[in-house]
Amino acid sequence: MSTQAIPLSPARPTRAYLALVVGMLCISFTAIFTKWAHVPGPVSAAWRMTIAAVVLAAPFIRQARRWTPAARSGVPWGIAGGLSFGLNLGLLNTALLLTSAATATLLDNTAPIWVGIGAMLVFGERLKGWYWAGLALALTGAAVVTGFNPAAGFVPNRGDAIAFGGATFYATYLLVTQRGRRNLDSLSYLWLVVATSAVALTLASLVLHLPLFGYSIRSYASLIAVGIFSQAGGWLLINYALGYLPASTAVIVLLGQPVVTGLLSIPLLGEMLTARQVVGGLVVLTGIYLCLKRNGNG
């Protein structure tokens, strides 16, 4: 699969969708590897990005030698994407310490709303009513899966606000990537993202006095796995797809991640899915299909 940068266009839609789906499957293992690692959130995120940066360093150097002036103009976008991605991971992991996992997960999944609004304001995309209907259905399904129930006494707290803010940085990352991939190939863009995030997250861990070393062999093996398989592999494929597909489309497919993670948790973590989670997962997938089909992308 070529990583040469090309302008955003509907070219090669089949390959782009395939890369997006496979990439989504790869990042669906993130939670599995992270639970196996069992280290503080900011630390696992820092290791994840650092390992990916090291793995991709040699091919990145070879690719950078062939950069055109247009490709060099995309470097600031890669750095901006790295800061956005790092902030999302840092804020989400912090929110998980201050609020329930269900609430933090749902609030992080509000990213599609900001992507859709941003795509209209920044890129002038015209999204049909069916996109928003499908998005609402997908978010409803995500709420069912996570067990979010505002009628049960949901009161926003500091953790909720942090998770909500983290979702805006996830959306920012996808929008920035859509723009940055116009001039930069997917490999170069991803390396700039992971390198920038690695530096930012490592500094954050040091500021928070979280140890970067001293963990078990299993922890390091899990961190290596998430860095290579999920980050380097999964996000390379997703960034490739974002060179051909609108962020407003990509983010809907990525909503399938929690569904796949739930299925993987059965054999790998011994966590059985409840009937509520199964129903919610089906609602999410229906919403994804509706967004893609009714918005002219399927």
Cα 252 to Cα 120, 290, 292: the distances in Å are 16, 10, 8
Cβ contacts of 17 within 8 Å, gap of 6 or more: 241, 245, 253
Range with the lowest mean pLDDT among 42-51, 53-62, 144-153? 144-153
> Could you tell me which residues come within 8 angstroms of residue 145 by beta carbon, excluding any fewer than 6 positions away?
258, 259, 262, 276, 277, 280, 281, 284
Give the pair of three-digit tokens for residue 291: 């967004």
pLDDT band at 289 (very low <50, low <70, confident <90, very high): confident
pLDDT band at 231 (very low <50, low <70, confident <90, very high): very high
The CA distance from 220 to 61, in Å, is 26
pLDDT digit string, tens, across residues 251-285: 778 878 877 887 888 888 887 777 877 888 788 87
Joined tokens for residue 45: 């995120």
Compute the radius of gyration of the chain from its Cα atoms.
Answer: 18
Condensed to tens digits (0 to 9), the pLDDT of residues 131-183 reads 788 888 888 887 777 666 766 665 557 877 888 888 889 889 988 988 888 88
What is the Cα–Cα distance from 213 to 23, expressed in whole angstroms?
29
d(CA 186, CA 19): 12
Residue 230 near residue 29, CB atoms below 8 Å? yes
Question: In the predicted model, is pLDDT for residue 6 greater than 50?
Answer: no
* CA nearest to 92, candidates 71, 110, 67, 77: 110
pTM: 0.78
Q: Which of 228, 289, 218, 294 is nearest to 259 (CA)?
A: 289
Burial label for 67, CB within 10 Å (0-12, 13-18, 19+), is: middle
Joined together, the tokens standing for residue 11 give: 């070219």
* Joined tokens for residue 280: 């919610």
Query: 141-163 burial, b for 16+ CB within 10 Å, e for fewer?
Result: bbbbbbbbeeeeeeeeeebbebb
Least confident of 82-96, 135-149, 218-232, 254-268: 135-149
Q: Give the separation between CA 204 and CA 206, rounded to whole angstroms.
A: 5
Alpha-carbon span 11 to 179, nearest angstrom? 16
Residue 88 has pLDDT above 70, yes or no: yes
Nearest Cα to Cα of residue 69 among 176, 179, 183: 183
Which residue matches tokens 């093996």?
A: 221
Supply angle C-alpha 265, 87, 194, rounded to 5. 75
Residue 116 has pLDDT above 70, yes or no: yes
Intra-chain end-to-end CA distance of the chain, in Å: 22
Rounded CA gap, 265 and 261, in Å?
6
Taking the CB of residue 260, how many other CB atoms lie within 10 A of it?
17
pLDDT score, position 196: 97
